[in-house]
Amino acid sequence: MKRMTKQGNWWELAKGLFAENPVFCIVLGLCPTLAISTSLDNALGMGAAATFVLLGSNIFISAIRNKTPDKIRIPIFIVVIASFVTIVSLLMQAFTPALNKALGIYVPLIVVNCIIFGRAEAFAFKNNVIKSTLDAIGMGIGFTLSLLLISSIREFLGTGALKLIGITLISAPIEPAMVFILAPGALLVMGLLLGLFAHLRNRKYEKTCCEVKG
Amino acid sequence: MSTSLFAIIIGAIFVNNFILTRFLGLCPFFGVSKKTKPAIGMGLAVIFVVTMASVVTWLVYNLVLVPLHIQYLQIIVFILVIATLVQFVELFLKRYNLFLYKALGIYLPLITTNCIVLGIALLNVQEGYSFIQALVFGIAGPVGFALALLLMSGIRERLELSKVPKAFQGLPIAFIVASLMSMAFLAFSGIIQ
């Protein structure tokens, strides 16, 4: 990756993809990541929904940050985030009922996704609207890419084919291992990927680019 | 899903364990499972709060939201009720039961953003549980969580002493252990239809 200055607007956009990737580097937002990463379609739907909420809440919270009293900022964040989640949930019920059914209670659970709350508290409350918008887009894409990575591995090994919106992308003559679609597969794939990333980090940078918090 | 109370209990603790099959509450699961003692504290705090939250959100949903036909506001209302409830419980314990407050202390605020609390409120609505069913589900669900947390912390205490490849130290190995536990819990599926 090209060396970027840590102050520029490009950095705010790009950091979410690799250096501060919300799933693999900061290890946030695990519940939806593992629960819905059974197929590419679900991953794309959840990624889009979370990105929309992240974008809305980051812009809104950053716009009102100078008028928000410090002491009651957390209830305000919660109401803002819950409103955007309600919007997404109603839109999904109206326009993509099949996806809404597949994602189930994990759509309303975006409210308690640590990524969104974390970005509001750690970034949007301290930065201007443009930077917060870029931060939300970067983090949203980073989250979506992580979901796609996990779900493509799980779908491929679990069903022997990769499908996106009904079109078969790849199919292989392998015996599908059902366990990858079930719960243990999610934890196993996530564990192996985290191990892989830790290994790459240890090798590439002497100083870790991001620390893993538990 | 079967409606008998026994089926709800077995289902919530073993078959659809909150962590290992539903993936609710993973952050505290990996965050506080390094040692057994904090794991017990967290488990108790979650049982305490989630049971109350299950009952209170059931009442709010069925006595306020349904009569007023504003079920679409459930997300906002539930999260506010839960956040208020946790604050209230914390203040109450601080005033009247200092022992419990010190035991649960730091875990209480963390629970607000725990998927389990909101998840149980939403699942009660989704399954259409009655009051008694919601109460039983509200106890059994977090008991399953506490069981998985306790088992996990026991394993991780042993892991500290064993040799783990460098790249897998910390979280990655914890995920793989959880995967094996989840596989063991798969054996329970089929008990309840």
Instruction: Please report the number of interchain residue pairs, chain A to chain B, with beta-carbon separation below 8 angstroms.
Output: 126
> B176 and A188 in contact by Cβ < 8 A?
yes
Model confidence at A2, pLDDT cuts 50, 70, 90, reads: very low
Instruction: Determine the 3-state secondary structure of B21 from DSSP.
Output: coil
First to last CA, chain A: 26
In angstroms, rounded to a whole number, what is the distance separating the alpha carbons of residues B130 and B61? 12
In whole angstroms, what separates CA B140 from the centre of its chain? Answer: 9
Question: Are the beta carbons of A212 and B171 separated by less than 8 Å?
Answer: yes
Q: Give the distance from CA B141 to its chain's centroid.
A: 6
* Residue A29, Ramachandran bin (φ over 0: left; ψ between -120 and 50: alpha; else beta): left
**Alpha-carbon span B147 to B44, nearest angstrom:** 10
**Partner A contacted by B164 (CB < 8 A):** no
Mean pLDDT score of chain A, rounded to an integer?
Answer: 82
Domain coordinates in residue numbering, chain B: 5-183
Q: Which helix H or strand E contains A168, and what residues bound it?
A: strand A167-171
The C-alpha atoms of residue A91 and residue A103 are separated, in whole angstroms, by 14
Distance between A194 CA and the closest CA of chain B, angstroms = 5
Confidence of residue B19 (pLDDT cuts 50, 70, 90): confident
Is the distance from CB of B82 to CB of B117 less than 8 angstroms? yes
- Among B125, B126, B132, B136, which Cα is nearest to B57's? B125
| Segment A131-155, tens digit of pLDDT | 899 989 998 998 899 899 999 998 8
Q: Is some CB atom of chain A closer than 8 A to the CB atom of B28?
A: no
- More confident: A97 or B104: A97
With contacts defined as CB-CB under 8 Å, which chain A residues touch B72?
86, 90
Helix axes B115-127, B131-159, angle to 10 degrees: 140
Q: Tokens at residue A152, please?
A: 């493509």
A167 pairs with which residues across the strands?
Answer: A164
* Residue at B183: amino acid letter: M
B172 touches chain A (CB under 8 A): yes
DSSP string of B141-192, one letter each residue: HHHHHHHHHHHHHHHHHHHTTS---GGGTTHHHHHHHHHHHHHHHHTTTTS-
Higher confidence at residue B103 or residue A182?
A182
Mean pLDDT of A157-162: 82
CB contact under 8 A, B31 and A214: yes
ipTM for this prediction: 0.83
How close A214 comes to chain B (CA, Å)? Answer: 5
Does B123 lie at the interface with A, CB-CB under 8 angstroms? yes
Beta-carbon count within 10 A of A182 CB: 17
pLDDT computed for residue A1 by the predictor: 39
Percent of chain A with pLDDT over 70: 89
Kindly state whether B50 is in contact with chain A, defined as any CB-CB distance less than 8 angstroms: no
Q: Is B148 on the interface with A (CB under 8 A)?
A: no
Q: Which residues of A touch B175 (CB under 8 A)?
A: 187-188, 190-191, 194
**Is B137 in contact with B8 (CB distance < 8 Å)?**
yes
Continuous H helices in chain A: 9-14, 30-36, 40-63, 73-95, 97-103, 114-119, 129-159, 183-204
Digit-coded pLDDT (tens) for A76-112: 888 899 999 999 999 999 998 988 888 888 888 888 8
Chain B interface test: which of A26, A46, A105, A106 (most B C-beta within 10 Å) = A105
In chain A, where the domains are located:
11-204
